[in-house]
Amino acid sequence: MAHWPTITVQMKRPAAPALIRVATPDDAEPVLECGREVFATTDFTLTKFDEFTLTLDQERDFLRAILDHPKKLCLIAEDPALRSPTGQPLITAMLILAAKRDNRRKLRHSVDLGISVRSSHRARGLGRLILHHAITWARSIQDLQLITLEVYADNVNAIALYQSLGFIESGRQPHGLIHDDNSTHEQVAMWLSLK
C-alpha cells in the first residue's frame, strides 16, 4: 500500500496553508470535481473536459487500486479554508505516479508522472510542493529508479518547474498532440533519476 505521511505546506500569493496527503477511495467525489475544473480551465492536459466521464464508483475503484499497489501513489492537496460543493475540503491539486504498463518487468524501475492544479491555486507554489513530496516518496521505494513525464512544449512554466527539480529533457515530438481545431503541439519527454 502507498502509505506516506500527510504534510502541511505553505502556499504563496497569498500565503496560506495546504495539506498534502495520500488520496483514498473516500476522496472520489471531490477528486472528480477537481478533475472537471482542471479539464475545463486548461488545454495543457491530455484529457478534454467532455472525455472525463468516470463515474463515482469507477473513481473509487481507481483510487483503491492505486492505494493497494506498492509502486503507485496518488497525492492530493487540500485547502483547509475552502470547501468543495460536496462539503469536503477543496482539493486543489492532484498527482499520480504509476507505471505506464503494469506487469512489464523491463519497466518496473520507472513510474510516469501526471499532475494537475486547480485554476484558483496555480502559480502559488503548490505544484512544486506536491511534486517534492512525491519525489521523496519515489526515492523511498527500493526498486524505483526513474520518473518520466510528457508535457506540452508551450507549457514553459511547467517545464521550468520540472527542470528546477532535476528533470532532464530526453526528446521532443513535433505534432505529438493534435487539438480538435487541428492545431498541432510539440510534446516534450522528461525524466528524473531517483538514484
What global pTM score does this model have?
A: 0.94
In a domain, 110, yes or no: yes
Report, as an integer, the average pLDDT of 71-76. Answer: 96
State yes or no: pLDDT of 16 exceeds 60: yes
Q: Is 168 within the bounds of a domain?
A: no
Other Cβ atoms less than 10 A from the Cβ of 65: the count is: 14
- At residue 2, the pLDDT reads 63
Q: 35 lies in a domain?
A: yes
> What confidence tens digit (pLDDT) does each residue in 123-171 have?
999 999 999 999 999 999 998 999 999 999 999 999 999 999 999 999 9
Residue 101 is predicted with a pLDDT of 73
| Whole-number Å distance between alpha carbons of 92 and 84 | 10
Count of the separate structural domains present in the chain: 1
The enclosing domain of 103 has a CATH number of 3.40.630.30
Region for 125 from its dihedrals, namely left if φ exceeds 0, alpha if ψ lies in -120 to 50, beta otherwise: left
Domain assignment of residue 158, yes or no: no
| Number of CB atoms found within 10 A of residue 73's CB | 24
Whether 113 is in a domain gets the answer: yes
Is residue 184, in this structure, part of any structural domain at all?
no
Question: Which residues constitute the domain of residue 17?
Answer: 7-148
Report if residue 42 sits inside a domain: yes
Q: Considering the domain boundaries, does residue 21 fall inside one?
A: yes
| pLDDT, tens only, 108-119 | 899 999 999 999
